[in-house]
């Protein structure tokens, strides 16, 4: 089995998730600028989730690039990741429509946390399949971003019940950490040292 | 006609089916955890159908991998399979919103049964196109999973009117049977013996 | 510009059209078999449109297979075809929800007619780009199916105001004519005579 | 990282955007031709946006064709473009449902303007990555269409508060300017002079 089809399927699913999310931005009834105001929280949560899905698509890309063959466990670890990503439109809509209130903000973080864990599992499955001298293992290095993110998500979930704005701030922080493009894998692949 | 386009089209349709299914998980009005409780049956039926579609995608993959050329009958047998799979979001939503009541649970099984029959037809069409010494025929062997599943679905449909929980249990059972990755085809393709 | 991307884009659009059409099959409120009865016309119109879109995907495939390069006019003729196909979920839903009443049945035919004309235009654009000795021109031969279909659609549209069942019968007839796989192009491409 | 996956992902997202837009064309309740009349503005705005998305897909195609490798900044500039395009179904639906009233017509232009700016940024990022002697820079020449369009959008936004029909006319004008296929890039790539 070759890598192309798992890439194509993942691309398809992520492209659909990122696009149906916009369906939560429901056309308002009035035709004034004021009619758009209540949509602002939904819009902002859409922007945040769009960036997160972009980051996942981007990193997923690099990760598969560093793997040679596709195994059964990889397929299922990948579907597991896509499952949690598929819940993002729901949590995004819920958080947006409730103007970032506490419980939806916490649940938003739970899905991000589960997606991060699923991503980590997929990464471990690929590394295990590559044996010692794994290209991916070398490429991710100490993987401090991958280890820090779940910790920040957990903190954000706990903080939501004190103030959801701390949670939102932490979600934005993780997005910023990842937005810096992950050149590590590219560097190893192109033969540069870490 | 080459295999890539039938793979790409099937991937696209399955990716969309798996993703629009999540649209049945409608954003609730309240913002408390209690507001999520009524969604639990819809969520659980989503998980079950997500796994089923993952299994179909996975096996479809292996099946096409063991076939060389695409014929007219294969195209239509494939569309026939996609047709039944496309009804899964409907039956999933109906079963979830009615908290796994009897008739929706039975109808859920009817669509699974039809999809299993459509999959079997597609498999036969490919085998017939390959003539004697068919690689796919050799790969699937006695195909006990493919023969057992429709029988279990039929039993599950009949059981729904006694207790729908038997049906649900049987659907979960079939999913578990298939979740064990189907290495038979890979083994034959890579030259190992069965 | 190569053919792959126009194929991939068309596949994507047709896959999405075929799948979002099922969203018109709204989950009913009751949980009895009786609750499904009102959905029967919507289901039947879904089946008919699914077959039509399958036919278009199939023929589109063969047509592009017989063309070498992609030109600007081809891109736009292709988008024009996709535009009319994208209206099929709307006319399908309208016809189904109104139990095949006269006007929706006629409008369903209008969209089919426009799609057939758009398909014909795309075919002519490709033939023109291939110059004399066009492979596609040779492959389609006298193209009696392509010429007969629009005439039947026009008849069906006119008949709807007498009895919509004549129209529906004619739509089914055209689908049956095309369901017989179009081997003409394959034959020419593989060097056989017509 | 290769170009195929960024192309496939962009194709997927644009294909989904173009198709879910048709979901705003809601099936009417009556079954007479009169029931279609209120949908006319929604239909017309759908046609306009379909053409715009077709133009973006087309030009995006040519632009990536003239670029060799994919860099991190290109990925994000591309996602930024897709973000603004993903808002088109929303602004299209809002403008259509409000019969092209002033504010929705202006907001429609704002999203077009942002998409045009995002397209320009992506173009600059690719040119910068190609260094001096950039193939894309040569291909786009003076890029008068790319420079004129944002100016016309800005004029259209300002005009909406005087008469939205001026705005609509300007949107149609920009579409017509671009509909003339952009042969510049093809010409340079095939070695012809400008």
DSSP string, D72-121: HHHHHHHHHHHHHHHTHHHHHHHHHHTTT-HHHHHHHHHHHHHHHHHHHH
Answer yes or no: are the C-beta atoms of D89 and D65 closer than 8 Å: no
| Cα separation, A63 vs A138, whole angstroms | 12
Asked if B90's CB is within 8 angstroms of C22's CB, the reply is: yes
Asked if B12's CB is within 8 angstroms of C15's CB, the reply is: yes
Answer yes or no: are the C-beta atoms of A17 and A81 closer than 8 Å: no
Instruction: With a cut of 80, say whether residue A180 has pLDDT above it.
Output: no
Instruction: With a cut of 70, say whether residue C173 has pLDDT above it.
Output: yes
Q: Which of D1, D73, D89 has the CB atom closest to A65's CB atom?
A: D1
Going by C-alpha positions, the residue among C75, C82, C80 that lies closest to residue C56 is C82
Answer yes or no: are the C-beta atoms of A140 and A16 closer than 8 Å: no
Asked if C9's CB is within 8 angstroms of D57's CB, the reply is: yes
Per-residue pLDDT averaged across B26-40, rounded?
Answer: 92
Torsion sign over Cα C24, C27, C30, C35:
positive
Instruction: With a cut of 60, say whether residue A175 has pLDDT above it.
Output: yes
Going by C-alpha positions, the residue among B186, B74, B62, B194 that lies closest to residue B127 is B74
Read off the pLDDT band of A8 (50, 70, 90).
Answer: confident
Contacts of B24 (CB under 8 A, 6+ apart): B42, B46, B89, B92, B93, B96, B97, C27
Query: CA of A23: which chain D residue's CA is closest?
Result: D90
Per-residue pLDDT averaged across A53-67, rounded?
Answer: 88
Length of chain A: 194
Instruction: With a cut of 80, say whether residue B45 has pLDDT above it.
Output: yes
Mean of the per-residue pLDDT values for chain B?
A: 88
Neighbours of chain D (3+ CB pairs under 8 A): A, C
- Chain D closest-CA separation from residue C45 CA (Å): 14
Helices C72-86, D40-65: axis angle to 10 degrees equals 140
DSSP D28: P
Neighbours of chain C (3+ CB pairs under 8 A): B, D
| Cα separation, C34 vs C36, whole angstroms | 5
B65 to chain A: which residues are within 8 Å by CB? 1
Query: CA of D86: which chain A residue's CA is closest?
Result: A19
pLDDT digits (tens, 9 = 90+) for D45-69: 999 999 999 999 988 988 888 887 8
Contacts of D151 (CB under 8 A, 6+ apart): none
Instruction: With a cut of 90, say whether residue A3 has pLDDT above it.
Output: no
pLDDT reported for residue B193: 42
Query: CA of B13: which chain A residue's CA is closest?
Result: A12
The share of chain D scoring above pLDDT 90, in percent, equals: 62
B27 to chain A: which residues are within 8 Å by CB? 24, 90, 93-94, 97
Of the ranges A140-144, B7-11, B164-168, C71-75, the best mean pLDDT one: B164-168
Going by C-alpha positions, the residue among A115, A103, A139 that lies closest to residue A53 is A115
Per-residue pLDDT averaged across B28-55, rounded?
Answer: 94
The share of chain B scoring above pLDDT 70, in percent, equals: 91
Answer yes or no: are the C-beta atoms of B86 and C18 closer than 8 Å: yes
| Cα separation, C126 vs C122, whole angstroms | 6
- Chain A closest-CA separation from residue B184 CA (Å): 12
Per-residue pLDDT averaged across B141-152, rounded?
Answer: 88
- Chain C closest-CA separation from residue D157 CA (Å): 27
pLDDT reported for residue C194: 37
Read off the pLDDT band of C192 (50, 70, 90).
Answer: very low
Read off the pLDDT band of B140 (50, 70, 90).
Answer: confident
Query: CA of B186: which chain A residue's CA is closest?
Result: A1
pLDDT reported for residue B154: 96
Per-residue pLDDT averaged across B19-32, rounded?
Answer: 90
Mean of the per-residue pLDDT values for chain D?
A: 88
Tokens at residue A86, please?
């598929």
Instruction: Name the residue with higher pLDDT: A61 or D165.
Output: D165
B62 to chain A: which residues are within 8 Å by CB? 1
Going by C-alpha positions, the residue among D18, D94, D55, D42 that lies closest to residue C85 is D18
Per-residue pLDDT averaged across C31-39, rounded?
Answer: 93
pLDDT digits (tens, 9 = 90+) for B72-124: 889 899 999 999 999 999 999 999 999 999 999 999 999 999 999 999 999 99
Asked if B15's CB is within 8 angstroms of A12's CB, the reply is: yes
pLDDT reported for residue B56: 94
Burial (CB < 10 A; 0-12, 13-18, 19+), residue A131, is exposed
pLDDT reported for residue D140: 81
CA distances (Å), origin D119, targets B151, C99, D49:
55, 46, 16
pLDDT digits (tens, 9 = 90+) for B158-188: 999 999 899 999 999 999 988 875 565 556 6
Among all chains, which residue has been given the structure tokens 């990741």? A81
| Cα separation, D131 vs D134, whole angstroms | 6
Instruction: With a cut of 90, say whether residue D167 has pLDDT above it.
Output: yes
Per-residue pLDDT averaged across C83-90, rounded?
Answer: 97
Per-residue pLDDT averaged across C140-144, rounded?
Answer: 81
Q: Which of D5, D82, D93 has the CB atom closest to A7's CB atom?
A: D5
Size of interface C-D (CB pairs under 8 A): 74
A7 to chain D: which residues are within 8 Å by CB? 5, 8
pLDDT reported for residue D191: 57
Helices D3-20, C72-86: axis angle to 10 degrees equals 40
Asked if B13's CB is within 8 angstroms of C15's CB, the reply is: yes
| Cα separation, C135 vs C121, whole angstroms | 17
Instruction: With a cut of 60, say whether residue C157 has pLDDT above it.
Output: yes
- Chain D closest-CA separation from residue A42 CA (Å): 13
pLDDT reported for residue D194: 37
Going by C-alpha positions, the residue among D92, D114, D85 that lies closest to residue D168 is D92
Read off the pLDDT band of A150 (50, 70, 90).
Answer: very high
Size of interface B-C (CB pairs under 8 A): 72
Mean of the per-residue pLDDT values for chain A?
A: 88
Contacts of C8 (CB under 8 A, 6+ apart): B8, D7, D8, D11
Instruction: With a cut of 50, say whether residue A82 has pLDDT above it.
Output: yes
């Amino acid at each position: 089995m070759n890598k192309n089809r798992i890439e194509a399927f993942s691309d398809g699913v992520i492209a659909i998730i990122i696009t149906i999310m916009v369906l939560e931005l429901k056309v308002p009834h009035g035709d004034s600028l004021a009619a758009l105001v209540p949509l602002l929280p939904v819009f902002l949560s859409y922007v945040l989730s769009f960036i997160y899905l972009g980051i996942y698509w981007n990193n997923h890309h690099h990760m598969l690039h560093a793997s040679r063959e596709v195994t059964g466990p990889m397929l299922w670890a990948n579907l597991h990741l896509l499952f949690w990503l598929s819940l993002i439109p729901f949590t995004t809509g819920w958080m947006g429509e409730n103007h970032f209130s506490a419980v939806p903000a916490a649940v938003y973080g739970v899905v991000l946390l589960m997606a991060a864990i699923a991503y980590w599992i997929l990464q471990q499955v690929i590394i295990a399949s590559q044996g010692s001298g794994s290209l991916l293992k070398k490429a991710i290095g100490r993987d401090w971003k991958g280890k820090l993110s779940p910790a920040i998500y957990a903190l954000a979930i706990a903080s939501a019940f004190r103030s959801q704005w701390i949670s939102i701030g932490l979600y934005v922080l993780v997005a910023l950490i990842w937005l810096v493009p992950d050149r590590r894998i590219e560097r190893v692949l192109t033969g540069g040292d870490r």
